Amino acid sequence: KRIILAKKEYFLQFISQMSEQLISKLMERESNLKLQLLQKQLTCIINSIDSGILAADESGRIIFHNSLTQDFFDLDDIAWDNFLISDLLDESYTNYLTASEEGFRNKEALLQRGGKSIHALITARPIMMDGDCIGSIFILKKISEVYREVVELSDHGIIGSFDTILGSSANITEVKQKAIRIARGNSTVLI
């Protein structure tokens, strides 16, 4: 008892430091959990985007891809560990990105992978930090998907009939009658 009382200040300081260490560890754990949650949320958001997304570091090594990019190139998760961006995209795109330092939008490309050709649009942006490029982001979209979206947007909500064509002259009436006959087929006709 006498020894403990003699070293009372030492033990109080020790307990105080241990308490601070415990608090620090708890705060660190809470921060890690928040970061893990944020990472899962961001991954979910990125996988919900209807474009393929690739992220590469400054050496061109792929550090992230979303699930659509995986389908795009028909690769499994393990294969991605060994890929450089130059393995998937023509070097001219990465050179252009490096040279411009601004990136580019909707460059048309024919990507070759596994004996398949993929007609795509590529958008790229550098990742800048303190004036240095530390990587790049590539967004890929299949041209067939772009066409499908354009058709969906242009056809959406348009209901046409020959009654909406204005005019009642003999020429307009004749054109309407021809159009009614032609409309039975599948051909597109410009009047």
Half-sphere exposure of 151 (CA within 13 A, CB side): 6
pTM for the predicted model, two decimal places: 0.63
Taking CB atoms within 8 Å and a gap of at least 24, the contacts of 157-166 are none
Statement: residue 156 has pLDDT above 60: no
**For range 173-190, the mean pLDDT:** 80
Query: Token pair 């389908």 is at which residue?
Result: 71
Cα 191 from Cα 184, distance rounded (Å)? 15
Cβ atoms of 140 and 49 closer than 8 Å: no
Cβ atoms of 127 and 135 closer than 8 Å: yes
pLDDT reported for residue 80: 75
pLDDT tier for residue 77 given thresholds of 50, 70 and 90: low
What φ, ψ does residue 32 adopt, rounded to 5°? -65, -40
Cβ atoms of 136 and 97 closer than 8 Å: yes
